[in-house]
Chain A
Amino acid sequence: MNIIVCLKQVPSRESILRVNADGTWVDEQDLSWEINEPDVYALEEALRLKERFGGEVIICSVGPARVQQAIREAFAKGADRGIHLNDPAFERLDAYNTARVIAEAIKGESYDLILTGLQSDDFGFAQTGVILAELLGIPHTTIVMEIHILDGKVKVKRELEAGWFQWIELPLPAVLTIQSGINHPRYATLKGIMGAKKKPIRTLGRDDLHLGEALLNLQQVEKVYIPQKTKETQLLEGSPEEVAAQLVEKLKHEAKVI
């Protein structure tokens, strides 16, 4: 069972964001980076399937040189090799064009599954995996909570709203976007970290791919800004009885929510 995992590197969650000078992106200079958390769950799911069924886990990631660190981190956990898509033309691509680049890059690969996180923690387009399935002409499903491999098929549980779940079957190969929290991702072992340095990464740029049409984003970022919070908090003081009485009073007559 060969599995491709699409990973994105995003600013770490503790990052303090600053908007760049022209207000169209975040200032990337002082940021620290990490693997997009939803993709960490996708990677873990791929590693578990590999442990049961054998095969390879291939990491595919789009981004500048720093992305190699994310690929190596996946190697340290047990992934086998990587495809790094690095080209100035790949910067700030929308989901459609990112999917186009990935689809071209994995054309020669033989795979049974493509896994990716439900969405990225930076721009959160939540489309790259879905569009990838369209480009490759293979079935897909989203918000996957559980995976069972059957003969030539995969059976998955997907989360719907309001406590509803669906069990569905798809023929392989297929694209699955993984819901966060479906497993407990492992930590890299020391042995894994040592071994990660030797695993191969293939780096591809625009000229290595047959992209056809130019990579033009379908929508443009007009503005990025940090929303200003204007709320003033009323602190309630007194004994628990006084606080509870004030709270009920305010919720009833001021906020009118109960």
Chain B
Amino acid sequence: MQNVLAILVPRADTVGRAEKEVMGAAQRLASQLNGQWAVALIAPRACALSRQVLVCGASKVFVVDHPELVEYSADPYLKALEGVVEVAHPHVCIFAGNSIGLELAPRLAYRMKSAMVIDCTELQGVSGGHVQITKPVYGGKAETILVAHNPPVTICLRPRSFEPLNAVSETTGEVHRLTIEIEPSLRRTKVIDRIVEESSDAKLEEARIIVSGGRGLGGPEGFLLLKELAELLGGAVGASRAACDAGWAPMSWQIGQTGKKVAPDLYIAVGISGASQHLVGITRAKTIVAINTDPKAPIFKVADIGVVEDYRSVIPVLIEELKQESSA
């Protein structure tokens, strides 16, 4: 019997897509391993949040609610997780691959003497109770399959690589509230402030549509056009590293190996040549449209639809066309 633990550490007051992906991966892996899955929910007001977890069909939710957990900080959160692991005895722990998961997972893994793989894009339970973990390596030029022969195994998922678990009609799960001693002295790091920059931009990692620009835009003004197109489509604006390095777009827009990994339904790459460092950030995009004057640009090798044309002549017309469509 294999136990899979979906570890949810939501930053906001809601169980979002990232958490539902973790539960989806945990549920499917548990069924491949003929095992059980459970949820560990560590958050401020975790008890109230647990309802959102139960409606996704979890049968067991371990909850830790403690004054020390009000603001996220690695040390007290790890202590809480250690407490859950002691009770749940998981063979596999699954985290979301966000800033919190990437910080907590390796340390929990270390404390459990667990194997640990980050940026997992596929999980497969195989006979013998092993887990095969697929992840991209070498900037997406290759992939690897890793196997841990001894449990436990800890995994961080690449965002938007797994189907989220959606609400079920009947909830039958139960909540186990754990009391764990968390000393205030554990908290070695102190959170001073939390700030948001460019809050008006849609979240790139969660955007359904992204219009992205590269060096081929020829200057920062090109992004104004992309922004107009993105707004019209209800999407976000991204950029290649070359465009960010040139100062045409803020660093937070950067997509690729050193930037964000995105997974939109539609990715429109404008003036982006498609270096492998950029492509690794968009491997999970469903439909890729490339607009570029160079027919030999590598972006055309991964694009579903290609337009060999200057964006300055195509995009304004495209914007007009979309405006007419929406008013019709």
Stretch in B45-53, B161-169, B314-322 touching the partner? B314-322
Cα-based distance from A181 to B99 in the complex (angstroms): 17
| A→B interface (CB under 8 Å) | 11, 13, 15, 17, 19, 26, 37-38, 94-96, 119, 121-127, 130-131, 133-135, 139-143, 155, 158-171, 180-181, 218-227, 229, 231, 233-236, 240-241, 243-245, 247-248, 250-251, 255, 257-258
Min CB distance, A181 to chain B, in Å?
A: 5
Name the residue of chain A whose CB is nearest to the CB of B314.
Answer: A240
Write the nearest CB–CB distance from A42 to chain B, whole angstroms: 13
Q: Does B196 contact A (CB under 8 A)?
A: yes
Is B15 in the interface zone, CB < 8 Å from A? Answer: no
- Which residues does chain B contribute within 8 Å of A258, judged by CB atoms? 209, 233, 266, 322
Question: How far is the CB of A137 from the nearest CB of chain B, in Å?
Answer: 10
A-B contacts, 5 listed (Cβ < 8 Å)? A37-B258, A125-B117, A165-B196, A251-B266, A257-B265
Say whether A236 contacts B142, CB under 8 Å. Answer: no
Q: Is B314 in contact with A166, judged by CB distance below 8 angstroms?
A: no
A139 touches B188 (CB 8 A): yes
- Please provide the chain B residues from 174 to 196 with a CB less than 8 Å away from any CB of chain A in the complex: 188-196
Contacts A124-B137, A130-B106; is A257 near B286 (CB within 8 Å)? yes
User: How far does the Cβ of A40 sit from chain B's closest Cβ, in whole Å?
Assistant: 11
Taking CB atoms, residues of chain A closer than 8 Å to B149 are 220
> Which 4 residue pairs spanning A and B have beta carbons closest together?
A127-B106, A218-B115, A219-B115, A180-B258
A229: B residues at CB distance < 8 A: 301-302
* CB-nearest residue of chain A to B320: A244
- The chain B residue sitting closest to A122, CB to CB, is B138
CB atoms of A233 and B119 under 8 A apart? no
In the bound complex, CA of A248 to CA of B232 (Å): 13
List the B residue with the shortest CB-CB distance to A242. Answer: B317
* Residues of chain B having any CB pair with chain A under 8 Å: 11, 73-75, 98-100, 102-103, 106-107, 109-111, 113-119, 132-133, 135-139, 141-150, 153, 188-199, 201, 203-206, 208-209, 233, 244, 251-252, 254, 257-259, 265-266, 276-277, 286-287, 289-290, 300-309, 313-314, 317-318, 320-322, 325
Among B100, B193, B302, residue most surrounded by chain A Cβ atoms (within 10 Å):
B193
Contact (A17, B142) CB under 8 Å given A142-B99, A233-B306, A235-B308: yes
- 11 new A-B contacts, CB < 8 A, other than A162-B196, A243-B314, are A125-B117, A127-B106, A130-B107, A143-B102, A160-B100, A161-B11, A166-B194, A219-B133, A220-B146, A220-B147, A236-B307
Contact of A244 among B188, B204, B244, B314 (CB under 8 A): B314
Q: Does B116 contact A248, Cβ atoms closer than 8 Å?
A: no
Minimum CB distance partner of A166 in chain B: B194
CA distance A123 to B143 in the complex (A): 9
Interchain CB contact under 8 A, A123 and B305? no
Which of the residues A94, A127, A163, A226 comes within 8 Å of B141, measured between beta carbons? Answer: A226
Known: A161-B203, A180-B258. A223 touches B144 (CB 8 A): yes
Q: Which residues of A contact B259 (CB under 8 A)?
A: 180-181
